[in-house]
Structure 1
């Protein structure tokens, strides 16, 4: 019975159903623990020897963390240093200094795209929040289309940050899929960026222009003052808005690490910040321009804008080098060097060290301040790293128990496009569990045995599709949904029409462009 393909495929679906139940049950079991419990029970039900199960779980968790966990930790350190040094503030200044009704949404799209490369979704949004509010307030006062500019500026940021978070390494989700499917990380980054650019444009400024006049978002005066340091009545002075745009800029790592910390508390359809912000927003932002905001403002003035962009892009460029060298100079001496520096771990180490030296000197941060910034960044990603480990254990059980081979046998006659299959599994599990990472690790484990003799390009496109699927249908059981809702005082309906719809559009467009590129694979 244990070796019967029908039984094993049924066991796979039963284990997924149990995982969804445990995460969504009234006890809200943490995804890490839920994954381990399901992995243990699945191994037992598949007939794996009891003495072999611990080794399977340890090998799966440790093997996945061997590279992915290190890269995630380094990425968190880089993102926190960029925020604490004021580098992100310098990038965000571009929006404030060049904002107009026509250019502001597009500039915000570009800035959010760059910021989203090294930062988790909520971390990047928290860092950009003062800029979003300040630019929106300024445009509200200077132009005759009130109650529209908040969404015109916010939606491009959501689209860019979520797209990069789900589709492009070195974010943890895509890295998990890269590792599980054996994809080339440089090629995946290149193809992911090609898919991401049109996706963000369509789901960001284009959709914002359509939906903004239909949803009259009106954040409370408390929220506006919290993020801009000025009241709406005083916002007529564009210079004052620009001067205070960075008042709320601060370190953001402690609040989030993707969608996997569990659902934030919310209250149905009420307007969730009438007298203040929700739990997520209030913990992420000061009530006004205090000492921390002034210090960040001071450091930001000392960091050149070009240096801020370079520090963000160094690790990504290094990871792209290998893919480019393979194309233009395959089997040359340069390929070995490119392969070494393009390894995600090496690229991130170089990027973090470069940023520490460059930003430390520019922002006049001493060694103690840099170490403090790095140390405080790690607590925010503990949950993500644990979920990655749990997902690795689950995937190893699927392999060792023969469930993966059973899936190959059961689906070999269906001839379903693996890009579509990966996307479909990713979006269903992400929606059902409230965790993008759970969706990615589970989809990767299910699809991996089906990937046999496909080209490197096609495998990278499967990675992008799985990541795209994990972004979609981000609704009430995702912490990111409540974070956006409460930070802008939205009703449940407003958050559904904006945040959830934007991320679902990103998911669908990401799949569409992956399928288009697959015609060339």
Structure 2
């Protein structure tokens, strides 16, 4: 096949994926596997090779990811049931003062969003949001938008979130570097698109959240865990994974202590330690028994199945793109175009998010398109590419994004007001994040 025909098949596969997920409303797993098979057939791959590529792609992606995501879900669940997020929010509001409640809620969303999913974070923090907004005399948009943007930014950019982790693994990026880069690059994006924009537009919109949400009471202060316990538990896996990167840079890969540091800093080890710590600090130490901990773990692991099969299917899609010859065709075209790899990664993710909607499938589709062309850029930093994909995915959340509707229902905003608040803020976050990333790459020489 010619390069043009390969690119035509690629374009057709993206259109097919959009049709299957948006128009036909197939489950993303079925849509991705169907699209993967189409690519194999259309490019003339032998039938047995299509099956081998699908199996290899799924196995290669899930081998490392499954335990990481399950352990991360357990840590998030323990924070959810313990009230750790509320403790963090109340402490920050006391420290920053009620006039800066919107900044406090952005920080809460940014930190609490590390171990919990975007939607879970919203449900978890909404009762607190209503109470602090009333106490501070601020509009719900002014206080709530920073929290939402903080949650969504780390959801897209920072492992151990499923899509961010899957992208990092696919790119063979150091997870510690992805976490460190993601937190640094994401913070200005969340700060400008959240509290600064929220303060500018907050009083212009009226929210009508569902009545039952307004009746949910926040937990009494004496039922919440201590702040130090909460922070240690949340930050434990991040510190362990980042320390591996920092020690390697400071001591060198051949230092005698590095095998131990590498073992502790591996994502599976770090999250296993964090999960055991969470069982004690947020569970047993607060009067929970082992039966409760098992129940919490089961409720955390169950929802991961749907995410894992989607990630596995995206791995199959990536593998078939590589094995079919489409990856090589992309290299030929992009060699002539000479597009900056970070800008290309960001732009592709933004387009995929606009087209597909869901952040997870948008990120996984993007990495499948970007992965074949990375060899064109010998000096590229895979960790920064992973962050660029995450930052691009933040942008332009609209009606085909499940998260858009989740925010709409919980905040009670009209459709035009959702575009003026939430969608606009995600666009601002994506562009601020891009500018920050481009400045940061100069600092680290990437």
Q: Name the TM tier (shorter chain).
A: over 0.9
From the superposition, tell whether residues 161 and 382 of structure 1 become closer, same or farther in structure 2 (CA, over 3 Å): same
What residue in structure 2 maps to residue 225 of structure 1? 214
* 1:306 equivalenced with 2:303 (yes/no): no
* Mapping of residues 14-163 of structure 1, within 5 Å: 14-25=12-23, 27-95=24-92, 97=94, 100-140=97-137, 149-163=139-153
From the superposition, tell whether residues 496 and 223 of structure 1 become closer, same or farther in structure 2 (CA, over 3 Å): farther
Mapped partners of 1:449, 1:53: distance in 2: 18
Alpha-carbon contact 2:6-2:325 (below 8 Å) kept: yes
User: TM-score normalised to the size of structure 1?
Assistant: 0.81
From the superposition, tell whether residues 367 and 129 of structure 1 become closer, same or farther in structure 2 (CA, over 3 Å): same
What residue in structure 2 maps to residue 320 of structure 1? 242
* Mapping of residues 211-222 of structure 1, within 5 Å: 211-213=201-203, 215-219=204-208, 222=211
* 1:394 equivalenced with 2:383 (yes/no): no
What residue in structure 1 maps to residue 441 of structure 2? 518
* Mapping of residues 57-456 of structure 1, within 5 Å: 57-95=54-92, 97=94, 100-140=97-137, 149-213=139-203, 215-219=204-208, 222-223=211-212, 225-227=214-216, 244-246=217-219, 300-301=223-224, 303-330=225-252, 331-452=254-375, 454=377
CA shift digits 1:206-235 (9 cap, x unpaired): 11111113x2223258256333xxxxxxxx
Mapped partners of 1:48, 1:367: distance in 2: 52
Mapped partners of 1:446, 1:116: distance in 2: 27
Q: CA deviation at 1:81?
A: 1.1
Alpha-carbon contact 1:464-1:510 (below 8 Å) kept: no
Q: CA deviation at 1:367?
A: 0.2
1:471 is matched with which residue: 394, 409, 413?
Answer: 394
Alpha-carbon contact 1:223-1:487 (below 8 Å) kept: no
Alpha-carbon contact 1:132-1:154 (below 8 Å) kept: yes
Over aligned residues, Cα RMSD in angstroms? Answer: 1.9
From the superposition, tell whether residues 341 and 190 of structure 1 become closer, same or farther in structure 2 (CA, over 3 Å): same
Q: CA deviation at 1:364?
A: 0.8
Gaps of 5+ in 2: none
Aligned length: 443
Mapped partners of 1:221, 1:445: distance in 2: 40
2:416 is matched with which residue: 488, 493, 497?
Answer: 493
Gaps of 5+ in 1: 141-147, 228-243, 247-296
Alpha-carbon contact 2:210-2:410 (below 8 Å) kept: no
Q: CA deviation at 1:504?
A: 1.9
Mapped partners of 2:305, 2:261: distance in 1: 31
From the superposition, tell whether residues 463 and 61 of structure 1 become closer, same or farther in structure 2 (CA, over 3 Å): same
Q: CA deviation at 1:457?
A: 6.8
Mapped partners of 1:334, 1:206: distance in 2: 45
User: TM-score normalised to the size of structure 2?
Assistant: 0.95
Alpha-carbon contact 2:127-2:214 (below 8 Å) kept: no
Q: Which has the higher helix share?
A: 2
Mapped partners of 1:457, 1:359: distance in 2: 41
Alpha-carbon contact 1:223-1:488 (below 8 Å) kept: no
